[in-house]
Structure 1
Amino acid sequence: MNIALIAHDKKKNDLVQFATAYQAIFSKHTLFATGTTGLRISEATGLNITRYQSGPLGGDQQIGAMIARNKMDAVFFFRDPLTAQPHEPDVTALVRLCDVYSIPLATNMGTAELLIRGLELGLIEWRNIIKENGEIDGE
């Protein structure tokens, strides 16, 4: 599965801790992340992560493009709802794309716990069936 890891500045520590706790599960998947978040997770865990630009510089849009092409299977986006984000339209677009393409999206620790356990149990395998059948074809 292709998994995106994104976190706003005040949530980066939380996502690094989460990725460290679930390193064994994440290591079985292909990981993508926005700039600093990807670097921090990689340094803390040793996980191999394809890094895009930071969110405000277009990283959210790069991951959104993968979603639109049906190349992303799950997104862990630890958002900070209490701080204004200069790139909020990009954040909103990314969340909307997850809804349009039925991509599981965790925006907080509680949902992330459920999603990671679902990945561990193989409950997200329906994404492979959708991709194989071309039911959501972004190509």
Structure 2
Amino acid sequence: MTAHQPAQQPVPPRKRIALVAHDARKADLIAWIGANIAALDGHAFWATGTTGQKVRAAHPGLDITPLKSGPLGGDQQIGAMIAEGRIDLLVFFVDPMTAQPHDVDVKALTRLATLYNIPMACNEATADMIVSSAHFASGYAPRAASFTDYETRKL
């Protein structure tokens, strides 16, 4: 284990979930949360700015912390939380039909979720599969990401 690799701990039953949605998908995310409120209740949420505000207004009982708007750094805030081992699941409802001015941030967030081996749902079907999985309700421990080969490479 190096200073750059967070210890992989079992994911606790109370998940730490990041929520992101492009503008055209915010209503879909809010509806998805409503349809899955029984499974999601009791978990901790962080969300990019406007998404977080809209989710909080629609579902005031959720423990949600809004961050900065995505284009203003919210995507990077969530990315940092992933890299620090403070996010267990990323739910990011992507709008594939609209160009995003902060597309590089979106790609970086996708890369970090993949790199640190955390589940990521980019659409409702995947999000449904995740929250209905027995792993979601348990203390599932994903395989720890290892960067030893990269960190010990010859420069």
Normalising by structure 1, what TM-score?
0.87
Alignment of 1:98-109 (within 5 A): 98-109=113-124
Identity %: 46
Q: Pick the structure with greater CA Rg.
A: 2
Structure 1 outlier segments of 4+, above 6 Å: none
- SS of the residue corresponding to residue 49 of structure 1 reads strand
Deviates more, 1:118-127 or 1:90-99: 118-127
RMSD, aligned CA: 1.8
Aligned residue pairs total 131
Alignment of 1:69-108 (within 5 A): 69-108=84-123
Residue 8 (str. 1) matches residue 57 (str. 2): no
Tell me the distance in 2 between the aligned counterparts of 1:68 and 1:32: 15
Tell me the distance in 2 between the aligned counterparts of 1:123 and 1:65: 25
Structure 1 unaligned regions, length at least 5: none
Residue 18 (str. 1) matches residue 32 (str. 2): yes
Q: CA deviation at 1:119?
A: 6.4
**AA of the residue aligned to 2:128:** E
More helix by share: 1
- SS of the residue corresponding to residue 50 of structure 1 reads strand
Normalising by structure 2, what TM-score?
0.78
Tell me the distance in 1 between the aligned counterparts of 2:141 and 2:51: 28
